[in-house]
């Protein structure tokens, strides 16, 4: 073999090795550290001890599942209240009005979602002014609709940064039999951007298989399985970290699940002696649940 050929091959290998080293340096994340969340100044020692645990649950797409009465809403309102209590300037958006004890929240309703989409009816006149009809009628205009949605989200960046969105009956937004639901189209981009916004999107549904795979399921980071014990007010929650979706809602996890036992009837000092059921209008207390209404 020619000496020049050997030299050329050797030089090629050297250059390849050099490029690999450069790539390894480029993609070396060992020096990176996650952003340290800022906590509220009035926390007790017990609450300060909880910060590290709840910090891992303040970002992602979380679905809470379970039979009626298992405590799905209890967990969602508890977690959102806890995050708001622990972390500074953490805002909560809700599609269901809580009780006064919950504290400040931002209504997450159709007015907020659709504010920037009303021009859709003007652009694509269908003979009807109903926005839902226009979304369904012009669902093939995906690129234009996505541009409008993305424009709205970008202009409301601050609303979703360091925040959580609580959605009751999650299937209403991502039902697999209604892929062109206008609310689905509006919320879906948020699922893709949760890391960028440091956003938690949490919703409740009895059956996870009701959710659309493309729009929702493949974005889910956590599933919380709820169950009620024989003791009234005591709920068990098993939190799975979803790594990959398979058929039949099989969960693959990188680590063992976390189990939480929560007594929703226990008086809590932070709530002035009230219990978790007092945070929202619970069926447990026999109250009628007022919802934020969506337009027909």
Query: Residue 153's pLDDT is what?
Result: 65
Q: What sign does the dihedral 275-278-280-282 (CA atoms) show?
A: positive
Question: How do residues 198-254 score in pLDDT, each as one tens digit?
Answer: 899 999 998 888 888 777 888 888 999 999 888 889 999 999 887 555 544 545 565
Q: Average the pLDDT over 4-31 and give the result.
A: 56
φ/ψ of residue 211, rounded to 5: -85, 145
Query: Residue 115's pLDDT is what?
Result: 54
- Comparing 263 with 172, which gets the higher pLDDT? 263
Query: Residue 165's pLDDT is what?
Result: 92
For residue 142, name the pLDDT band (cuts at 50, 70, 90).
low
Question: How do residues 67-117 score in pLDDT, each as one tens digit?
Answer: 988 999 999 999 999 999 999 999 999 988 999 999 999 888 656 565 545
**What DSSP element (H or E) covers 238?**
strand 234-241
- CA nearest 184: which of 152, 156, 216, 206? 216
Q: Is the predicted pLDDT of residue 197 greater than 50, yes or no?
A: yes
- CA nearest 47: which of 237, 271, 256, 234? 271
Span 38-285: which CATH code?
A: 3.40.50.300
- CA nearest 285: which of 100, 105, 99, 103? 99
Distance separating alpha carbons of residues 60 and 195, to the nearest angstrom: 7
Distance separating alpha carbons of residues 271 and 101, to the nearest angstrom: 7
Query: Residue 202's pLDDT is what?
Result: 95
């Amino acid at each position: 073999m020619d000496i020049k050929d050997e030299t050329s091959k050797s030089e090629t290998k050297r250059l390849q090795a050099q490029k690999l080293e450069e790539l390894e340096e480029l993609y070396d994340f060992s020096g990176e550290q996650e952003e340290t969340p800022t906590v509220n100044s009035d926390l007790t020692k017990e609450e300060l001890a909880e910060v590290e645990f709840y910090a891992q649950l303040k970002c992602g797409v979380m679905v809470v599942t379970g039979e009626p009465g298992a405590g799905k809403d209890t967990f969602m309102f508890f977690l959102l209240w806890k995050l708001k209590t622990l972390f500074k300037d953490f805002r909560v958006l809700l599609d269901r009005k809580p009780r006064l004890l919950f504290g400040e929240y931002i209504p997450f309703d159709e007015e907020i979602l659709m504010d920037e989409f009303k021009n859709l009816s003007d652009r694509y006149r269908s003979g009807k002014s109903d926005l839902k009809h226009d979304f369904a009628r012009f669902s093939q205009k995906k690129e234009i609709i996505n541009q409008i949605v993305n424009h709205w989200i970008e202009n409301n960046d601050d609303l979703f940064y360091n925040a959580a969105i609580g959605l009751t009956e999650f299937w209403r937004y991502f039902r697999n039999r209604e892929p062109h639901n206008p609310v689905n189209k509006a919320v879906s981009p948020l699922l893709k951007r949760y890391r960028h916004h440091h956003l938690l999107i949490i919703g409740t549904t009895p059956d996870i298989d009701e959710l659309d795979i493309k729009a929702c399921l493949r974005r889910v980071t956590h599933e919380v399985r709820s169950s009620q014990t024989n003791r009234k007010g005591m709920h068990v929650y098993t939190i799975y970290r979803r790594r990959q979706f398979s058929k039949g809602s099989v969960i693959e996890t990188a680590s063992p699940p976390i189990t939480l036992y929560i007594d929703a009837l226990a008086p809590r000092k932070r709530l002035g002696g009230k219990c978790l059921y007092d945070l929202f209008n619970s069926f447990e207390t026999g109250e009628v649940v007022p919802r934020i209404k969506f337009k027909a």
